[in-house]
């Protein structure tokens, strides 16, 4: 039998494509059989420009699949890709009615009967884990076993829809074969197609979640149980992916990596002992399952970034979600995470149906304060309604369709818009496509919530400390101040081609003036350091966007006194009259002071590796020296200008030697355009 495993088309510029691990697992378990199996990764095809996005995309996908002459086409479908999967399935059936169509995945598992009822082109749904169920379903299609005996499927028998009993979860995950990545293109193709720096492999570490958050389908899928692969197997798989498939970075797929401390510790020590800790990896965790010692061990084992699901800053909303998070430990955990050298992402969700304006403000306040501690990524999302969840079951009568949230984007194939027939499909069936719908929220209009989710993270990324300080100084709510800035930017951009309410570029261009305008309207400014804090964060951003460094010059090509040193383009220097380093330290500790001591501070900002910015405090001589290194003045001229201020009690020749040594040292540090010392 020819079996096509289909990853439906999907594309968002800001998201990179990864190999479809679920389909790889299915292909792997089918490999020992006599079947021919092929994975069709349409998101990768879009990235590689072998599949064009237009109104005919589904027809093209169907024809590519049919060229393989499949007997069965099985689709891995999630919320966003449900409409494309349905449309491709219908086209396949139209062209070849004999092909069996199978759906699987979280979404399909929760709307299995509805899917078969609504869409006659679909023959069966695999519910839950597919590694045992799908091969049995194939044997049923071949007539080797009776379909009624296959646990975990819902299928069509003529005009009847039959739902077999659930299949028990796989007790021993190690009994599954190791995912065979030869079924997909090399990892380097995914890396290059997405324009990212490292080839990423997904490595499944475990399955399940013991919690019961109101919006989450994971606990339903996995029956609130957690299972992990053995650490020995995981270490071997990690080495295999690195050595044989070119993996340069790992995404550990498991919602609760640190839920069992012993497991996390064994994994980390195993990675270290195997010498694999130079490979960076990412995981998902909870604040209450880590501490300083575990975080340090994880970093030593290669953990580079991790995600904490915070969800809300409101105790009332957290109770609604059924999430037991102690916000009092948040700042300590974030600080411990960053001090260990791990960059945390804090995930927040807004727009729950019982959320008040105050609840929303508390969430944004916590997100902003978390960002202000530094080295932290903030993710803000609108509530997504998933089938089968308590959120859907309790509020499905209130579903409306007003805005596209993040998890409904990615299928805009008609010149940047969703295909009209997809919208018609979604409009006709909120029960199947509920993730494209919204729930009204007392806190704010849905359009306002959507703008907050889309653009607030620009503020938390670019100006978290300044924006928080401005909000505190003005005694103005974060949401009100945020939309005040959004509206001001809209006024400035009126009549231009800029359509987005806020971009990193417009934020950088206009926030400083906005802050100044706000402060100018106040008679007394308590936090008088704010303008300099804005300038500090602006300097960080400009250094991070620095261009390439100038071509090097060589000291042996010139007489030393004739050199015209020039500061590297990736370096900027600033003078401050407040103790900005001390202020930043207080922010890092979760303190947000009204006052900042005055002192002259001289800082250099440099663009470092991996897009980071390094800040150094320099002395006044270093600042003045670098300020004069503009490529126009010779070293002799710089020495003359500085001698009257810094050359007391020194002969001119001695001071000239000090300046020459400073130029050479700064060149080695790439603060000045590099040059080589004179040859003797």
309-338 residue pLDDT tens:
999 999 999 999 988 777 778 989 999 999
pLDDT the model gives residue 542: 86
How many Cβ atoms from other residues are within 10 Å of residue 153's Cβ?
28
How far apart are the C-alpha atoms of 577 and 601, rounded to whole Å? 6
pLDDT the model gives residue 208: 86
Overall average pLDDT of the 267-290 stretch: 96
Q: Which helix (H) or strand (E) holds 283?
A: strand 281-285
Which residues are within 8 A (CB) of 559 and not within 5 positions of it... i.e. 6 or more apart?
A: none
Tokens of 530: 């704010």
Write the DSSP string, 79-112: TTTHHHHHHHHHHHHHH-TTSEEEEESHHHHHSH
Would you place residue 16 in the very low, low, confident or very high pLDDT band (cuts 50, 70, 90)? confident
Overall average pLDDT of the 285-298 stretch: 95
Q: Residue 558 pLDDT > 50, yes or no? A: no
Q: Which of 162, 157, 158, 251 is nearest to 204 (CA)?
A: 251
Please tell me the total number of residues recorded for the chain in this structure.
Answer: 680
In the chain, how many H helices and how many E strands? Answer: 26, 18
CB 486 within 8 A of CB 502: yes
Q: Which of 594, 593, 474 is nearest to 522 (CA)?
A: 474
How far apart are the C-alpha atoms of 253 and 622, rounded to whole Å? 48
CATH number for region 198-389+445-456:
3.20.20.70
Q: Residue 559 pLDDT > 80, yes or no? A: no
Would you kindly state where each structural domain of the chain is located, as residue ranges? 2-163, 198-389+445-456, 463-525, 540-668
Write the DSSP string, 391-442: HHHHHGGG-B-----GGG-S--TBTTB--HHHHHHHHH-TTTSGGG-B--BT
How far apart are the C-alpha atoms of 247 and 135, rounded to whole Å? 29
Q: Residue 549 pLDDT > 60, yes or no? A: no
463-511 pLDDT per residue, tens? 999 999 999 999 999 999 999 999 999 999 987 877 778 999 999 999 9
Q: Which of 251, 254, 310, 316 is nearest to 286 (CA)?
A: 310
> What is the reported pTM?
0.91
Please name the CATH architecture into which domain 2-163 falls: 3-Layer(aba) Sandwich (3.40)
Q: Residue 177 pLDDT > 90, yes or no? A: yes
446-456 pLDDT per residue, tens? 999 999 999 99
Q: Residue 551 pLDDT > 60, yes or no? A: no
pLDDT the model gives residue 668: 82
Q: Which helix (H) or strand (E) holds 639?
A: helix 635-646
72-130 pLDDT per residue, tens? 999 999 999 999 999 999 999 999 999 999 999 999 999 999 999 999 999 999 999 99
Q: Residue 556 pLDDT > 50, yes or no? A: no
pLDDT the model gives residue 674: 57
Q: Which of 208-212, 218-222, 253-257, 260-264 is the most confident on average? A: 260-264
CB 347 within 8 A of CB 311: yes
- Which of the residue ranges 79-83, 168-172, 432-436, 556-560 would you say has the lowest mean pLDDT? 556-560
Higher pLDDT, 305 or 16: 305
Please name the CATH architecture into which domain 540-668 falls: Alpha-Beta Complex (3.90)
Overall average pLDDT of the 157-184 stretch: 96
How far apart are the C-alpha atoms of 470 and 475, rounded to whole Å? 8
Quote the crossing angle between the two packed helices 357-372 and 330-339, to the nearest 10°: 30
Q: Residue 377 pLDDT > 50, yes or no? A: yes
How far apart are the C-alpha atoms of 349 and 329, rounded to whole Å? 19
Laid out side by side, the sheet with 377-382 consists of 200-204, 249-253, 281-285, 303-311, 343-350, 377-382
How far apart are the C-alpha atoms of 642 and 664, rounded to whole Å? 17
Q: Residue 554 pLDDT > 50, yes or no? A: no
Q: How far is CA 205 from the centre of its chain?
A: 19
620-627 long-range contacts (CB < 8 A, ≥24 apart) are 621/646, 622/662, 623/573, 623/575, 625/659, 625/662, 625/666, 626/567, 626/571, 626/573, 626/666, 626/671, 626/672, 627/573
**Which residues lie across from 410 on neighbouring strands?**
none
Which residues are within 8 A (CB) of 495 and not within 5 positions of it... i.e. 6 or more apart?
A: none
How far apart are the C-alpha atoms of 187 and 21, rounded to whole Å? 12
pLDDT the model gives residue 610: 59
Tokens of 186: 């090399």
pLDDT the model gives residue 219: 66
How many Cβ atoms from other residues are within 10 Å of residue 20's Cβ?
24
């Amino acid at each position: 039998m020819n079996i096509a495993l289909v990853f439906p088309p999907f594309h968002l510029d800001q998201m990179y494509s990864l190999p479809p691990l679920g389909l790889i697992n299915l292909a792997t378990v089918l490999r020992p059989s006599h079947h021919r199996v092929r994975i069709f990764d349409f998101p990768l095809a879009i990235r590689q420009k072998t599949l064009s996005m237009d109104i005919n995309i589904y027809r093209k996908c169907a024809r590519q699949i049919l060229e393989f002459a499949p007997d069965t086409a099985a689709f891995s479908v999630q919320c966003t890709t449900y409409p494309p999967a349905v449309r491709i399935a219908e086209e396949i059936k139209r062209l070849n009615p004999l092909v069996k169509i199978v759906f699987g995945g979280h979404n399909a598992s929760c709307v299995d009967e509805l899917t078969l009822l609504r869409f006659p082109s679909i023959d069966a749904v695999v519910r839950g884990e597919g590694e045992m169920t799908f091969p049995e379903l194939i044997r049923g299609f071949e007539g080797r076993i009776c379909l009624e005996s296959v646990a975990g499927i819902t299928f069509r028998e003529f005009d009847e829809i039959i739902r077999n009993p659930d299949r028990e979860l796989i007790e021993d995950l190690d009994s599954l074969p190791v995912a065979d990545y030869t079924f997909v293109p090399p990892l380097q193709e995914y890396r290059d197609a997405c324009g990212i720096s490292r080839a990423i492999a997904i490595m499944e570490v475990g399955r399940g979640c013991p919690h019961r958050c109101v919006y989450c389908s994971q606990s339903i899928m996995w029956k609130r149980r957690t299972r992990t692969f053995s650490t020995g197997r995981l270490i071997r798989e990690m080495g295999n992916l690195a050595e044989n498939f070119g993996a340069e970075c790992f995404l550990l797929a498991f919602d609760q990596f640190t839920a069992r401390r012993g497991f996390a510790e064994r994994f980390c020590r195993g990675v270290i002992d195997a010498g694999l800790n130079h490979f960076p990896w990412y995981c998902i965790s909870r604040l209450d399952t880590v501490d300083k010692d575990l975080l340090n061990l994880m970093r030593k084992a290669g953990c580079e970034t991790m995600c904490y699901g915070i969800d809300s800053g409101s105790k009332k909303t957290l109770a609604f979600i059924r999430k037991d998070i102690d916000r009092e430990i948040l700042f300590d955990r974030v600080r411990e995470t960053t001090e260990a050298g791990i960059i945390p992402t804090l995930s927040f969700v807004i727009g729950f149906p019982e959320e008040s304006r105050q609840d929303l403000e508390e969430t944004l306040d916590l997100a902003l304060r978390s960002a202000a501690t530094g080295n932290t990524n903030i993710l803000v999302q609108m509530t997504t309604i998933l089938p089968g969840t308590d959120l859907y079951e309790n509020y499905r009568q209130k579903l409306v369709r007003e805005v596209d949230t993040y998890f409904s984007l990615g299928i805009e194939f008609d010149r940047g818009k969703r295909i009209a027939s997809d919208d018609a499909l979604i409009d006709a069936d909120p029960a199947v496509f509920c993730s494209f719908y919204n729930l009204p929220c007392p806190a704010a209009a849905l359009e306002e919530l959507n703008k907050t989710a889309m653009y607030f993270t620009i503020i938390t990324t670019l100006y978290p400390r300044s924006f928080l300080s401005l909000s505190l100084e003005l005694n103005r709510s974060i949401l009100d101040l945020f939309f005040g800035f959004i509206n001001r930017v809209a006024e400035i951009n009126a009549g231009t081609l800029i359509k987005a309410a806020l971009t990193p570029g417009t934020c950088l261009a206009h926030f400083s003036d906005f802050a100044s305008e706000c402060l100018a309207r106040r008679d007394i400014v308590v936090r008088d350091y704010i303008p300099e804090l804005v300038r500090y964060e602006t300097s960080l951003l400009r250094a991070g966007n620095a261009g390439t460094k100038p071509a090097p010059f060589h000291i042996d090509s010139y007489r030393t006194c004739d050199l015209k040193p020039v500061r590297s383009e990736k370096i900027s220097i600033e003078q401050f009259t407040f103790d900005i380093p001390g202020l930043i330290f207080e922010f890092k500790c979760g303190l947000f002071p009204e006052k900042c001591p005055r002192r002259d501070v001289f800082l250099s900002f440099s663009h470092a590796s991996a897009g980071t910015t390094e800040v150094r405090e320099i002395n006044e001589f270093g600042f003045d020296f670098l300020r004069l290194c503009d490529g126009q003045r010779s070293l002799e001229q710089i020495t003359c200008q500085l001698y009257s201020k810094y050359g007391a009690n020194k002969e001119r020749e001695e001071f000239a030697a000090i300046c020459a040594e400073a130029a050479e040292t700064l060149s080695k540090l790439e603060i000045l355009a590099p040059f080589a010392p004179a040859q003797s």
